[in-house]
């Protein structure tokens, strides 16, 4: 077993430092900013701040986080990022050589007023039969604690599925894992942080004078299938290997 897989299976996350090179990040940052500009001029609702009492405990009035799904539908440069061999090599170490993109999502936390996310698991939003789903956060900017970087509870993926752990409401199990005590995972532009969708994670507000920029990919094994209850786009885009459960009907479905 590789060092990456061993660390991931023990801790439920893995920090791949400098996975993307400075010239790659320059191009990705340029397109990131263009996507945000297009979002803000679209007239769509682009603030993804969560409702509910858990967010209210750590947010302030006026906090925002700008968001869209599927940056690869805006930019070929971002599709190239998901097809980057160094990126996929790490994913393959974790989930195997058949890799599907479920969806991607952009998050921009504005300076001084960037919304937090309470502690939660991701599985309630897009459960899979074999629980192979992971996230990969590509850091377009640096992310410090003051900027509201990722926080995790290492090893919490071993808890499995926690009912009601979507982060939008009170939960007896989540009460045992306050965000204030979680491990702070600061990162630099070009880093990617991978974590299992059982891993308890969240982030505090951005109270710094810098903008925090990330793109998150949800990835699952080509031998796995999405269960009922999926609430996000399932792109079923094969990034490496094979989709073993695709069919004519599924291939023709809207994402």
What's the pLDDT score for residue 228? 87
Q: How many whole angstroms separate alpha carbon 186 and alpha carbon 82?
A: 22
Q: Which residues contact 209 (CB under 8 A, 6 or more apart)?
A: 111, 112
pLDDT in tens, 112-130: 999 999 999 999 999 999 9
Q: Please report, for residues 49, 126, 130, 145, the alpha-carbon distance to residue 56 in angstroms, rounded to integers and kept in the order given.
A: 10, 24, 34, 19
Q: How many whole angstroms separate alpha carbon 55 and alpha carbon 223?
A: 35
Neighbours of 92 (CB within 10 A): 19
Q: Measure CA 5 to chain center.
A: 19
**What is the CATH superfamily name and number for domain 3-251?**
q2cbj1_9rhob like domain (2.60.120.620)
Q: Locate the domains of the chain by residue range.
A: 3-251
What's the pLDDT score for residue 80? 98
What's the pLDDT score for residue 231? 86
pLDDT in tens, 141-187: 999 999 999 999 999 999 999 999 999 998 888 899 999 999 999 99
What's the pLDDT score for residue 26? 98
Would you say residue 30 has pLDDT above 90? yes
pLDDT in tens, 213-233: 999 999 999 999 999 888 899
What's the pLDDT score for residue 179? 97
Q: How many whole angstroms separate alpha carbon 184 and alpha carbon 150?
A: 6
Q: How many whole angstroms separate alpha carbon 81 and alpha carbon 230?
A: 25
Would you say residue 255 has pLDDT above 90? no
Total-model pTM = 0.97
What's the pLDDT score for residue 1? 72
């Amino acid at each position: 077993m590789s060092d990456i897989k061993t660390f991931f299976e023990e801790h439920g996350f893995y920090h791949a430092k400098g996975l993307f090179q400075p010239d790659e990040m320059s191009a990705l940052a340029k397109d990131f900013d263009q996507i945000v500009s297009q979002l803000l001029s679209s007239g769509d609702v682009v603030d993804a701040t969560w409702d509910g009492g858990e967010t209210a405990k750590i947010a302030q009035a006026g906090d925002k986080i700008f968001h869209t799904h599927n940056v690869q539908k805006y930019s070929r440069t971002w599709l190239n990022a998901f097809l980057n061999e160094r990126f996929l090599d790490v994913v393959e170490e974790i989930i195997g050589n058949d890799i599907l993109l479920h969806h991607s999502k952009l998050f921009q936390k504005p300076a001084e007023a960037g919304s937090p996310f309470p502690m939660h698991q991701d599985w309630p939003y897009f459960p899979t039969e074999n629980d192979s789903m992971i996230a990969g956060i590509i850091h377009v900017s640096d992310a410090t604690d003051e900027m509201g970087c990722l926080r995790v509870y290492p090893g919490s993926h071993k808890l499995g599925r926690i009912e009601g752990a979507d982060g939008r409401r009170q939960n007896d199990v989540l009460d045992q894992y306050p965000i204030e005590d979680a491990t702070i995972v600061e990162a630099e532009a070009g880093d990617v942080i991978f974590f299992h969708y059982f891993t308890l994670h969240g982030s505090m507000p951005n109270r710094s004078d810098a903008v925090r920029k990330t793109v998150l990919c949800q990835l699952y094994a080509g031998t796995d299938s999405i269960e009922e209850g999926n609430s996000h786009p399932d792109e079923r885009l094969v990034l490496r290997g094979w989709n073993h459960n695709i069919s004519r009907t599924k291939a023709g479905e809207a994402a």
